Amino acid sequence: MKLSAPIYRLKRAAKLLSREKNIPLHEALDRVAAQEGFSGWSLLAAKASATAPAGELFGRLSPGDLMLVGARPGQGKTLMSLELAVEAMKAGHRGVFFTLEYTEKDMLDRFRDIGVEPGRFEGLFEFDNSDEISADHIVKRLASAPRGTLAVVDYLQLLDQKRENPELSIQVRTLREFARDRGLIIVCISQIDRSYDPLTKPCHDLEDVRLPNPLDLKLFNKTCFLNDGEIRFRAAG
């Protein structure tokens, strides 16, 4: 059974329904699921997880990759990145999520949004929302990470928010070299510039990445952009 819309859109519809009808979110989610032909949201989320494009995308990644995942707010870039970590863990590798945006509870909720029970990957998943997150912090945390570990950085534009941190370009270069040397996969979530106009270009690309500070985006050897359910993947060279 094919969903009428990506799961992030269905969840957004449920939140709107919850506000409009003044009902609990879980009830609104179940109503949306019923409209899609499922008896409950958990079954819908599990179906979405099983058919998610993250599996195909993960198959295109290799140890040593530094990938950028870019999208406007609400387009599913965080869920996609988490799904990539889940795919890595399904393959027996570690998944690590570095974030300056989410709490641990938020992350547990994101797992359930994609129909995954976090306890399934006990011992393989790590969550880090330290205020000290930067390239140096990430390198230290992953110093003993085995080859094939997939780490998500949420998000790129926050890495140099502290004055004492190195320039963004230096940090990204550090992450690229570290991923290559250790055989890790590092996925950096990125914002899209507000000037992007979907009416003039169906899907954004590297030209639309928001860069408050200089950065050579060619440091990323793979990119993935999401817009209105469309996914555009590109590998350098």
Q: For residue 8, which of 31, 32, 24 has the smallest C-alpha distance? A: 32
What tokens does 196 get? 């992007």
Whether 7 and 38 have beta carbons less than 8 Å apart is answered as no
Measured distance CA(46)–CA(53) in Å, rounded? 13
Q: Which domains does the chain have, with CATH numbers?
A: 7-50 (no CATH), 54-235 (3.40.50.300)
For residue 211, give the nearest of 191, 236, 225 by alpha carbon: 191
Q: How would you label 170-204 residue by residue, b for 16+ Cβ within 10 Å and e otherwise?
A: ebbbbbbebbeebebbbbbbbbbeeebeeeeeebb
Cis upstream peptide for 102 (omega within 30°): no
What is the C-alpha to C-alpha distance for residues 94 and 80, in angstroms, rounded to an integer? 17
What are the pLDDT digits (tens) for 82-120? 999 999 999 999 999 999 999 999 999 889 888 788 888
- In tens digits, the chain (237 residues) has pLDDT values of 678 877 777 888 898 999 999 999 999 999 999 999 999 988 888 777 776 788 889 999 999 999 999 999 888 899 999 999 999 999 999 999 999 999 999 999 889 888 788 888 989 999 999 999 999 999 999 999 999 999 999 999 999 989 899 999 999 999 999 999 999 999 999 999 999 988 888 888 999 999 988 999 999 999 999 988 788 999 975
Q: What is the DSSP string of the chain?
A: ---SS-HHHHHHHHHHHHHHHT--HHHHHHHHHHHTT-SSHHHHHHHHHHT-THHHHHTT--TT-EEEEE--TTSSHHHHHHHHHHHHHHTT--EEEEESS--HHHHHHHHHHTT--GGGGTTTEEEE--TT-SHHHHHHHTTTPPTT-EEEEE-GGGTT-STTSPPHHHHHHHHHHHHHHHT-EEEEEE-B-TT--TTT-SS--GGGB--SS---GGG-SEEEEEETTEEEEEE--
**What is the model's pTM?**
0.85
